């Protein structure tokens, strides 16, 4: 769960970088999207190490595998834990648990539902909320011109970055990185930085579209 | 002091339990929490009622026998204090306060009666590897095996674990990772623990899961209630050793 989680955090940072290409203009954004798919004249990313168009499928395979393994390990651990928990306390006071840590499980399920919606909108049925797949920026603009779409993404991204906040810390702790109380504060600090960078980086573009800056 | 106690009463392992209210007068603020329970039991005995069963032994915070959940916190220590139930004093409570007292709750710690639980699972985790194997004989000279200062300190800090079970009681997943990690770190830091280091971590973690403890999600409730201040870092040490053991033939 730690390894697949970190793969997905790395992906989110890359995804965010790609989104910000829209600030360089629609052509730059579309070129980047086609380049990832190997549909540009230079053969796209990693060409000629990989034949044009292979990278995107390998990348998708790794990501889907990460998502599946992540959910599978989470689900099997949750089920095992549920079976082993004692009866509930009548009175219970938490001393250390954060809101992000408490919402990892249900938050994760909601994020998975959001992910399905997000993939339908931009990948599986491209243009299902306006725009066309040949010019990817038109899908983005058509989607985020709707205030409710921006609101939906704003809420979903809060869930995502909360999941990332506890997940980043927890993944490194699971992998043995929490070596001292100082390491704990460094890891937690980094987790906060990654979460804030992701939120700002992902939301600034839809907001710019909504307010007509782009 | 006058107190209203709400205590978990359960006649036996299979019986259904419930919270029962008791009013208790004449509590001195110098009493320890267990002495307050003694006073209650004396009153109950005089009234010909069944006294409340609770675990206790040394009453000086070093044996790990006592432990109840007080107002939702394992051992009930106030903010910023680390203590076992026996070293918690009634001056930590206000006169007229209502105090909820419950047993440790975890699948691997079945309630025996009232506030007493069976912590035999901890003994079986220790039996799985919480020791070093050495031939007995006359004790070697103290300086014959040098131990580095930093590692020796870490080993000692982790060796202070008294196995009270507060970590399990506080854990939302009923995991005993902190207990197991303390034992692993204690032995992994010392030269004497090296020969069995990687076989130990495998068998102790396997025993931990076998006993029906939950999985660690790095929340930190355990370290927050530990009367001995075992840090969450110990769990990372356990994980490092466990990952390391994947690349060793020991214990396979």
B126 and B197 together in one domain: yes
B124 and B241 together in one domain: yes
Q: Which residue has the tokens 């109380």?
A: A181
- Return the structure tokens found at A32: 């980047």
Cα–Cα distance for residue pair A96/B221, rounded to 1 Å: 5
Mutation target to probe the B interface, by most B beta carbons within 10 A, among A6, A81, A179 is A81
Chain A: give the shortest CA distance to residue B28, in Å: 25
The CATH number for B208's domain is: 1.10.1060.10
Is B251 part of a structural domain of the chain?
A: no
- Write the pLDDT tens digit of every residue in B29-87: 999 999 999 999 999 999 999 999 999 999 999 999 999 999 999 999 999 999 999 99
The CATH number for B26's domain is: 3.10.20.30
Name which of A86, A102, A183 is nearest B109 (Cβ-Cβ).
A86
Interface list for B 73-102 with A (CB within 8 A) = 73, 100, 102
Q: Are A143 and A121 in contact (CB under 8 A)?
A: yes
Q: What angle do CA B232, B234, B235 make, to 5 degrees?
A: 75
User: For the residues A62-68, what does the mean pLDDT come to?
Assistant: 97
**Is the pLDDT confidence value at A120 over 70?**
yes
**Is the pLDDT confidence value at A147 over 70?**
yes
The alpha helices in A47-180, defined as continuous H runs, are 54-84, 99-102, 104-119, 136-144, 147-174
Residues of A in contact with B216 (CB under 8 A): 174
B67 and B127 together in one domain: no
**Is the pLDDT confidence value at B137 over 90?**
no
pLDDT at B198: 95
> Is residue A3 exposed (0-12), middle (13-18) or buried (19+ Cβ within 10 Å)?
middle
Cα–Cα distance for residue pair B139/B20, rounded to 1 Å: 53
**Is the pLDDT confidence value at A4 over 90?**
yes
For residue B78, the 8-state DSSP code is: P
Task: Please state, rounded to an integer, the average pLDDT across all residues of chain B.
Answer: 95
pLDDT at A63: 97
Cα–Cα distance for residue pair A107/A100, rounded to 1 Å: 9
Peptide bond into B35 cis (omega under 30): no
Is B139 part of a structural domain of the chain?
A: no
User: For the residues A3-9, what does the mean pLDDT come to?
Assistant: 97
CB contact under 8 A, B215 and A85: no
pLDDT band at A210 (very low <50, low <70, confident <90, very high): very high
- Residue B97: strand, helix, or coil: coil
ipTM: 0.90
Nearest residue in A to B71, CA atom: A91
Residues of A in contact with B219 (CB under 8 A): 96-98, 101
DSSP secondary structure string for all residues of B98-149: EEEEE---BTTB-EEETTEE--HHHHHHHHTTSS-----SSPPPTTSS---H
Lowest mean pLDDT: which of A170-184, B58-72, B126-140, B154-168? Answer: B126-140
pLDDT band at B252 (very low <50, low <70, confident <90, very high): low
Q: Which helix (H) or strand (E) holds A210?
A: helix A181-210
B124 and B95 together in one domain: no
pLDDT at A10: 97
Q: Which residues contact A177 (CB under 8 A, 6 or more apart)?
A: A183, A187, B236
Task: Please state, rounded to an integer, the average pLDDT across all residues of chain A.
Answer: 94
Range of the domain at B70: 3-102
User: Where are chain A's structural domains?
Assistant: 2-210
pLDDT at B249: 84
- Return the structure tokens found at B38: 């003694």
Name which of B6, B72, B223 is nearest A92 (Cβ-Cβ).
B72
CB pairs < 8 Å spanning A and B = 106
Is B138 part of a structural domain of the chain?
A: no
- Write the pLDDT tens digit of every residue in A24-46: 999 999 999 999 999 888 888 98
- Return the structure tokens found at A81: 């834990």
Number of domains present in the structure of chain B:
2
Q: Which residues contact B84 (CB under 8 A, 6 or more apart)?
A: B61, B64, B66, B67, B75, B162, B164, B227
pLDDT band at B143 (very low <50, low <70, confident <90, very high): confident
């Amino acid at each position: 769960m730690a390894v697949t989680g970190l793969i997905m955090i790395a992906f989110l940072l890359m995804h965010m970088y790609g989104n910000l290409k829209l600030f360089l203009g629609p052509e730059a954004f579309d070129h980047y999207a086609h380049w990832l798919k190997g549909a540009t004249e230079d053969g796209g990313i990693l060409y000629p190490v990989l034949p044009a168009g292979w990278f995107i499928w390998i990348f998708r395979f790794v990501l889907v595998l990460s998502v599946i393994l992540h959910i599978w390990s989470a689900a099997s651990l949750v089920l095992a834990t549920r079976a082993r928990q004692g009866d509930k306390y009548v009175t219970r006071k938490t001393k250390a648990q954060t809101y992000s840590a408490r919402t990892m499980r249900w938050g994760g399920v909601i994020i998975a539902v959001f992910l399905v919606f997000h993939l339908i909108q931009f990948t599986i049925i491209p243009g299902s909320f306006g725009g066309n797949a040949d010019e990817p920026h038109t899908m983005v603009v058509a989607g985020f011109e709707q205030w409710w779409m921006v609101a939906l993404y704003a809420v979903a991204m809060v869930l995502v970055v909360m999941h990332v906040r506890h997940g980043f810390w927890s993944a490194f702790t699971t992998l043995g990185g929490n070596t001292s109380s100082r390491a704990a504060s460094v890891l937690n600090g980094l987790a906060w930085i990654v979460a804030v960078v992701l939120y700002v980086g992902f939301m600034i573009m839809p907001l710019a579209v909504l307010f007509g800056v782009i | 002091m006058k107190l209203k106690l709400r205590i978990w009463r359960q006649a036996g392992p299979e019986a259904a339990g419930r919270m029962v209210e008791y009013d208790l007068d004449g509590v001195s603020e110098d009493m320890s929490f267990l002495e307050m329970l003694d006073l209650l039991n004396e009153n109950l005995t005089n009234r010909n009622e069944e006294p409340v069963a609770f675990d206790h032994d040394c009453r000086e915070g070093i044996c790990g026998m006592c432990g109840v959940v007080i107002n939702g916190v394992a051992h009930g220590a106030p903010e910023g204090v680390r203590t076992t139930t026996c070293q918690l004093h009634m001056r930590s409570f206000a006169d007229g306060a209502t105090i909820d007292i419950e047993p440790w709750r975890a699948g691997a710690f079945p309630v025996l009666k009232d506030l007493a639980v069976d912590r035999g699972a901890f003994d079986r985790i220790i039996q799985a590897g919480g020791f070093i194997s050495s031939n007995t004989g006359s004790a070697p000279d103290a300086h014959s095996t040098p131990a580095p200062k930093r590692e020796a300190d870490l080993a000692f800090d982790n060796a202070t674990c008294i196995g009270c079970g507060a970590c399990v009681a506080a854990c939302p997943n009923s995991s005993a990772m902190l207990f197991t990690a303390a034992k692993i770190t204690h032995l992994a830091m010392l030269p004497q623990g090296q020969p069995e280091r990687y076989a130990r971590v495998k068998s102790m973690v396997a025993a931990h899961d076998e006993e029906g403890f939950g999985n660690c999600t790095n929340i930190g409730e355990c370290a927050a209630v530990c009367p001995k201040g075992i840090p969450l870092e110990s769990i990372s040490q356990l994980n490092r050793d466990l990952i390391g053991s994947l690349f060793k033939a020991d214990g396979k």
